[in-house]
Amino acid sequence: MIALITGASSGIGDAAARRLAREPDATVVLVARREERLKALAASLPRATWVGVDLTADDAPARVREHLEAEHGRRLDLLVNNAGGAWRGAFGDKGYENVRRTMELNFDAVVRLTEALLPLLRASAPSSIVNVASVAGRVGRAGSGAYSASKFALVGWSESLALEERAHGVHVGIVLPGFVRTEGFPARQLPGVIVSNPEKVAEAIVRAGPAGKPEVYVPGWWAVVPRLRFLVPGLVRRVSGSGAVAPPTTADRQP
């Protein structure tokens, strides 16, 4: 199995790379901006290669594809779109620019990379794409509108892509974490019962990818929040406005 993970230099991406590396005959391809971290992680894994690139760069999708073609013979069995970030702030304060840069990384970069690699995934079918979204992609939250917009877009696009690519043998799964303790979001002020860790998200990625699940919440009880959103939207709006529901997965940009 050839598995490519973006945002692999820390947090969820690092954990996902380590978890997927335990799969039989797996080779992981690590993608992130911080090359020194990628080198160190690659050296600790049985079989790994890496690409140091900013996924918002114009040439990023082509560079990643060229690496796969040169190092792995145009094969790709699993694409994990994990890299992302958040810059908190109310729209009235941060305006369009905050929405633009968040969408550029969390949505546009994912779509561009997937477009470049989709022919390889089809050629390697049965294969999988896992898009790491967030509970914030189902329920909005005050101060995180740009982040929610990007994750709502990612979830909607992923659901449509899953229907389109099923005929080509490419499964598309979505992972929706709640609070996750990462480098960008240490969550020191939150009770441990509602905070997950990157290793649990990594297991969810396996379930949403090779295991074929369409959608996995981390932890599973977060799945009740979107249901409440449709059943009692007024109540959820009041709670969300207080900052108690559906936070960003990270507080700043993932590397």
Backbone dihedral angles phi then psi of residue 4, each to the nearest 5 degrees: -110, 130
**Measured at the alpha carbon of residue 175, what is the angle toward residues 94 and 134, in degrees to the nearest 5?**
20
96 is catalytic: no
Spot the catalytic one: 50, 87, 147, 217: 147
- Where do we find the tokens 């303790």? 181
Give residue 148's region: left, alpha or beta (phi > 0; psi -120 to 50). Answer: alpha
Residues 92, 247: Cα–Cα separation, whole Å: 19
Q: Give the residue numbers marked as catalytic.
A: 147
